[in-house]
Amino acid sequence: MTIRLVIADDHAMIRAGLRLVVENALGVDVVGEAADGVEAVAVARRERPDVLLLDIAMPRMDGLDAARMLLGDPDPPRIVMLTTFGSDANLHLALRTGVHGFLLKSSPPEHLIEAMRVAAAGDALIDPAVTLRVIASFAAQPVLAPPPELAALTARELDVLLLLARGLSNREIAAAAGVGEVTIRSHVTQILRKLGVRDRLQAVVLAYECGIVRPGGV
């Protein structure tokens, strides 16, 4: 399946570099570019990409506002935010907005390709280098009451949720738990269904917000 991609960043050299990486990757087609948030919204609505790589800090409209607008549309693109380690508040706000991942501009090309493929497949990904900052952003927020849906998780599913909160992939969780990756995928599917969340990133958001996981305790 070809992944249709729009790249939004206010620096032309960064857009060119991202385009070069993804056009050399199998199954990725750059269908548009944008230099600010207003243009990003217009291009995404016109081209209907599968994935939008969206810089947080842009002129006229920042990436957070652009993401909010697009995620309010019917059948929005999967949005992966680009960051240069902006404020923790921005990371937290972007997660609450419902974006599908974070990627550092300094990440290696394979992280970029994996983030797009994961997002296009309907899941979410946080760059490992951003994980601790995301955790810290939730540590500063008030702890919410655990939702009643949490009680529906089995002990094994709760263990998997804790490992998800550490940023582990299905393969890494399978290795840690001593089971097959197919089994972990099944557990993750059940966790998402029972919690009523869209993807693993939103499950992790819930885990931190209601205090199931706290920094230093995962």
SS3 40: helix
DSSP one-letter string for 141-179: SPPPPPPGGGGGS-HHHHHHHHHHHTT--HHHHHHHHTS
- Global pTM reads 0.70
| Per-residue pLDDT of the chain in tens (218 residues, 90 and over written 9) | 688 999 999 999 999 999 988 888 767 889 999 999 999 999 999 999 999 999 988 999 989 899 999 998 998 999 998 877 655 566 667 777 778 877 778 878 888 888 888 888 777 666 666 665 665 566 556 666 777 888 899 999 999 998 887 777 788 889 988 899 899 989 999 999 999 887 777 787 788 777 776 655 44
| Residue 217 placed within a domain | no
Segments forming the whole domain that contains residue 95: 3-139
Number of domains the chain is built from: 2
| Residue 53 placed within a domain | yes
Q: What is the pLDDT of residue 218?
A: 44
Residue 90 belongs to domain with CATH number = 3.40.50.2300
